[in-house]
Amino acid sequence: MTKGSGRDERLLGVQIAEQLRQGILRGDWKPGSRIQQDRLAEQFGASRIPVREALRLLENEGLVVLVPNSSAWISKLDKAECIEVYMMRERLEPLALAQSVAHLSDGDIGELSALAARARVTPDIEDYIQLDRELHLLSVRRAPMPRLLTTIERFWNITQPYRRNYLATTGAEGRWISDVEHTLMIEAIKRRDAEEAGRMLGAHIRRTRLHLEQAAWVAE
């Protein structure tokens, strides 16, 4: 990338944010890691202006914490904070799904089934995490509630590292249960049964929360 100004630097900031976003969600950065802005500017061949713009975008998404006159850090939750977010997800995501079901196209539902099928067979945990994320966000995407959808995606962003740890500790059995729950939820969506789909989703999230409450906390 090359250094620029004005509009070019804003565009560069968006491009840098996209690369950083993918790296954070992929687990390249651990929660609580300090972000060296000078190093990022050098890495991307940019000034600090688009780097700061990228970090502001990621802060709005819940992925980064900016400290005035200090630095930037990868978002990190303690156990109580993570459980709090999951409790909110239990309430908010079923609401979004119930509002989304009637607006999902047959193509959307076919894509949900395809994502679930790919998740069932992939041996790679990072692929599974990405497919799981895509499935859940697609299922609620048609809800005519943009503020709620923004909040839900932010919650997914800040809990991504802890889902990775959850899947690593629950192993094949945990994945099998999740796959069954996905199937039941999608079957309810196919029937356009918004209430049942929401109920299945709430139970799915609750099961993860209960596991987190009992598990030894590893914030990575």
- Given a contact cutoff of 8 angstroms between Cβ atoms, the answer to whether 185 and 202 are in contact is no
Per run of 10 residues, the mean pLDDT along the chain (length 220 residues) is 61 92 90 91 89 93 87 91 96 98 98 98 94 98 98 94 86 93 98 98 96 70
Beta bridge partners of 64: 74
Tokens of 140: 């609620």
Residue 1: per-residue pLDDT:
47
Question: What is the reported pTM?
Answer: 0.86
**62-69 own/partner pairs: CB under 8 Å, 24+ apart:** 62/154, 62/155, 62/157, 62/158, 63/20, 63/21, 63/24, 63/25, 63/157, 63/158, 64/24, 64/35
Asked whether residue 69 falls in the same domain as residue 85, the answer is no
Q: Which of 74, 102, 118 is where one domain is finished?
A: 74
Sheet with 34-35: list strands edge to edge. Answer: 34-35, 72-74, 64-66
Query: Is residue 11 domain-resident?
Result: yes
Q: Which of 74, 94, 125 is where one domain is finished?
A: 74
- Given a contact cutoff of 8 angstroms between Cβ atoms, the answer to whether 75 and 158 are in contact is yes
Instruction: Please spell the DSSP secondary structure of 95-106, one letter per residue.
Output: HHHHHHGGG--H
Query: Is residue 129 domain-resident?
Result: yes
Query: Is residue 2 domain-resident?
Result: no
Asked whether residue 107 falls in the same domain as residue 41, the answer is no
Distance CA(125)–CA(169), nearest Å, equals 12
Q: Residue 195 — φ and ψ, nearest 5°?
A: -65, -45
Residue 10: per-residue pLDDT:
83
Query: Is residue 1 domain-resident?
Result: no
Residue 187: per-residue pLDDT:
99
Three-state SS at 65: strand
Give the domain extent around 107: 79-214
Residue 67: per-residue pLDDT:
87
CATH number for position 137: 1.20.120.530
Distance CA(120)–CA(42), nearest Å, equals 40
